[in-house]
Amino acid sequence: MYKLLLCVRYLRTRYIALASIVSVMLGVATMIVVNSVMSGFANEMRERINGILADVIIETNSLNGETDAEFHRQLAMQAAGDQIESISMTVEVFGLMHFRRGGQWIPRPVTLVGIEPENEAKVGPLVANLDSFQTIREDGIVTREPLRKEGEAPGWKLTEEALAWRSEWKEYQRRHFANWPAREAAEPLMPEPPAFEPEPGHAEPQFDSPATASPEPGIAAEGPVQLEVPLPLPGIGPAQPGQVIPAAAIDDGENVRQASNPFATDEAPDLKGMVVEKGRSDIDAPLPGRLYIGAQLVEIPRVDRKTDKVFIERLVKPGDDVKISTVSAGSPPEPRHFFATVVDVYKSGMSEYDANLVFCNLEYLQEMRGMIDPQTGKGAITTMKIKLKDYNNSDQVVKQLENVFPPHLYTVRTWEQKQGPLLAAVDIESAILNVLLFLIIAVAGFGILAIFFMIVVEKTRDIGILKALGASSRGVMSIFLAYGLALGVVGSGVGVVCGLLFVRYINVIEGGISWLTGRKVFDERIYYFPTIPTEVSFWTVTWVALGSILIAVLASVLPARRAARLHPVEALRYE
Amino acid sequence: MTDSILLPTEHVSATAVEKTYRTGQHNVPVLRGVEMSVHRGEFVSIIGQSGSGKSTLLHLMGLLDQPTVGEIHIEGQRVDDLPAATRDELRNRVFGFIFQFYHLLPELSVLENVLTPLMIRESALTYWKRKKEYREKAHAILEQVGLSHRLKHRPSELSGGEMQRTAIARALVAGPQILLADEPTGNLDVETGQGIMDLLRSLNEDQGLTIVMVTHDEAIAQQAHRIVRLASGRLEILEAA
């Protein structure tokens, strides 16, 4: 009884103990805040990766893919149909995207993904990642309403804005080319204006397939001299009939392509007439190849010299044309090049994907890569993305799918398995951070140790009295252990409350700090989040609280033992 | 107060006790063979110069310390070699201590200080159950020492005499058989000291409490039944008071 009473009295009268309470509190609060924010970020990241990868991914081992998407779909549905919510058939292949900038072709290594947007949207948040569906905010003010209506199915149609831009630069280009012969005479190597985009038809010879343009593929593919000069002009340059329509020269299977191309009506018309036409017209129509390009492929942050603010400059806009290089199916793979129109910008918030992915319309990509069986007209696919009804059954589904998709042809993995190293790295990072942060609480523990030694020295006489009155050594020890426990409980209790409040109001606090320092602490243009994501895990909070209480008790063991060992006569020796 | 059987034998006795403290490499003998016994109901003073070992003898008899050589007996039974837990228990139930510097716990009120021995004796649960009874007991004893108006005060708010009365009340509350007083008046003026002595004498006479008191003041010592004189760790004279 006296232990409790004294413990409570010491807690109330020893203000120095408040210091240790505060240090425990700060440690606990920091751990809770950092853990919550980290797991908030990690969750957000997992969600995004999961969104891009879908739940289960079946990949063919060969680059050529396996023919007939419908057959694969049925096979998967037979194996695990009751678990599958939807499947998206895609072709994934590496490639290069080139865009024109400052008179040069700038290449970007990319992963080219052929998708059917409606199916892709069913396995992941495609719509949420496409720029034209988003409301753009700057410092909380809406600067652009969504360009497409909510609920509109994602597709390959260009928005009005993109079409307008397309007409604009096309018009500019036409005027430029109209003047070109005269200009060349005056200044042959005049730099091009930044907005200049080459017309695919003009650039065609550079990317001409070996079969039609050059007997030597290597030379044709390089063509550096030609790349630099917007040389061939319809009517002026040495245009050949086969080169006027862009895709015609690329693919030998003209008839197949025509039949299967969903954008046959968008087909670029004879370019010979375009020089004279003005305004938006069919000649400004987008190319049959359509793309969603990853935002970070074409965005660069810049600092505005006047306002000192960071803004994002987009080098390629929807409506522009870019060049895509990839390899054909078959052995050996051959380089394939085509022009395609950018329909939208893709922004998932995962830089690994935003700086890498280019989505293309599936059938066009299949066609360009020669993945369409000329006899049946069925396209091959390389990757199946499957969304499950319940992700908890994923291991079982993977087993079922492995039974029908033999491992020498296919790899069946969950998204977590596919992203294993990244997820493991995040886990390790968070574990190390926790260890480091726990050191803060350990420091608080040493604070308690030191303060308790002081209190024991200060209370030597009282300990002697208690012993003279019959208190056992264990009793005296338990006073100080209970004292440490009380400090730990109070400290971690207050810490938990402070930490949770901080997490709850973290965005308000962030706003306050931004206002104070005049600098945005959490810039959504860098992190892609409008607010700081947090997730409070009950178990984390529990472990942190219990851990810090334990540390407080452990830190009080040594002083408590010292108190217990005090000899009553020594302790009572006169002051 | 004494509920054990009254025997003509000694109540507490020290038999040939020696106590040596070790300071560094030197052994400092404090008691060099002291033989002393106190009868039940007796009021004995131990008197001697500073460093004569009188306090040490008191501590040995009160089981606060263990003799290097020799034995301590309570009612003929050896107690100095008992296990620590038993000695703690004996200190709590058999002995009451009074110190020169009162040694009250500064964080506790007068009432709580008085209740400390009972809190130490009982577990939290039993104490809680018998709280009312104990409080009444403490009230009664504080009334007896004349402090019933100071229950809620902190020791720092009391005068020296009041503090010593609180200490006496604390020593009495556990119902001890033997009261060990170490210079109880040493820090008080003559008048207040005499008040304390009167209180001790009345406890001895009315309740038959055995009292052993250490003092260096001849006048105070004279008020006991018997005086034991110590000089440099040995008995000097034995004489009847």
Closest chain B C-alpha to A561 CA, distance in angstroms: 16
Closest chain B C-alpha to A489 CA, distance in angstroms: 20
B167 vs A258, more confident: B167
DSSP A434-447: HHHHHHHHHHHHHH
**Is residue A448 pLDDT above 60, yes or no?**
yes
- pLDDT at position A493: 94
Nearest by CB to A2, which of B90, B93, B116? Answer: B116
Please report the number of interchain residue pairs, chain A to chain B, with beta-carbon separation below 8 angstroms. 78
Which chain B residues touch A if contact means CB-CB below 8 Å? 56, 59, 62, 64-65, 84-85, 88-93, 97, 99-101, 103-108, 112, 116-117, 119-124, 127-128, 170, 174
Nearest by CB to B103, which of A4, A465, A567? Answer: A465
Average pLDDT for A473-495: 89
Chain B residues with beta carbon closer than 8 angstroms to that of A462: 105-106
Restricting to A residues 446-475, those with a Cβ less than 8 Å away from any Cβ of B are: 461-462, 464-473, 475
Interchain CB distance below 8 Å, A9 and B122 = no
Interface test with B, best of A14, A458, A461, A469 (most B CBs within 10 A): A469
- pLDDT at position A183: 54
Interchain CB distance below 8 Å, A1 and B112 = no
Give yes or no for a contact between A315 and A100, defined as CB atoms under 8 angstroms apart: no
CA closest to B183 among chain A residues: A574
CA closest to A475 among chain B residues: B120
Average pLDDT for A282-286: 73
ipTM confidence score: 0.86
In this predicted model, what pLDDT tens digit does every residue of A92-123 receive, in sequence order?
888 888 888 877 888 889 988 888 888 888 88
Interchain CB distance below 8 Å, B107 and A9 = yes
A441-451 exposure pattern, b = at least 16 Cβ within 10 A, e = fewer: bbebbebbbeb
CA closest to A459 among chain B residues: B105
Assess A229–B contact: CB distance below 8 Å, yes or no.
Answer: no
Average pLDDT for A414-419: 82
Mean pLDDT per 10-residue segment, chain B (241 residues): 55 85 83 86 87 86 87 87 87 87 86 87 83 88 85 87 88 87 85 87 87 87 87 67 39
- pLDDT at position A499: 92
In this predicted model, what pLDDT tens digit does every residue of A143-175 receive, in sequence order?
777 777 777 778 788 788 888 888 888 888 888
Band of pLDDT at residue A282, cut at 50, 70 and 90: low
A411 vs A12, more confident: A411
Alpha-carbon distance values, B125 to A451, A484, B95, B118, B131 (Å): 31, 22, 24, 12, 10
Average pLDDT for A196-209: 43
**Rounded-to-integer distance, Cα A363 and Cα A336, Å:** 15
**Is residue A202 pLDDT above 60, yes or no?**
no
Chain B residues with beta carbon closer than 8 angstroms to that of A475: 120
Give yes or no for a contact between A28 and A548, defined as CB atoms under 8 angstroms apart: yes
Closest chain B C-alpha to A2 CA, distance in angstroms: 5
- pLDDT at position A182: 59
**Is residue A362 pLDDT above 70, yes or no?**
yes
In this predicted model, what pLDDT tens digit does every residue of A318-353 receive, in sequence order?
888 888 888 888 778 888 888 888 888 888 777 778
Residues 6 or more apart whose CB falls under 8 angstroms from that of B145 comprise B165, B166, B168, B169, B172, B199
CA closest to B92 among chain A residues: A470
Interchain CB distance below 8 Å, A470 and B97 = no
Band of pLDDT at residue A186, cut at 50, 70 and 90: low
Nearest by CB to A574, which of B91, B101, B104? Answer: B101
Nearest to A466 by CA among B185, B92, B156: B92
3-state secondary structure of A108: strand
Interface test with A, best of B120, B129, B180, B183 (most A CBs within 10 A): B120
Nearest by CB to B120, which of A2, A473, A568? Answer: A2
**Is residue A575 pLDDT above 60, yes or no?**
no
**Is residue A483 pLDDT above 60, yes or no?**
yes
**Is residue A514 pLDDT above 90, yes or no?**
no
Interchain CB distance below 8 Å, A6 and B105 = yes
- pLDDT at position B87: 87
Nearest by CB to A1, which of B89, B101, B119? Answer: B119
Chain B residues with beta carbon closer than 8 angstroms to that of A470: 88-93, 117, 120-121, 174
Nearest to A475 by CA among B188, B120, B28: B120
Interchain CB distance below 8 Å, B116 and A569 = no
Chain A residues with beta carbon closer than 8 angstroms to that of B119: 1-2, 5
Give the domain ranges of chain A.
2-47+422-573, 62-159+289-381
**Is residue A198 pLDDT above 60, yes or no?**
no
Q: Taking all residues of chain A, what is their mean pLDDT, rounded to a whole number? A: 75
Closest chain A C-alpha to B5 CA, distance in angstroms: 24
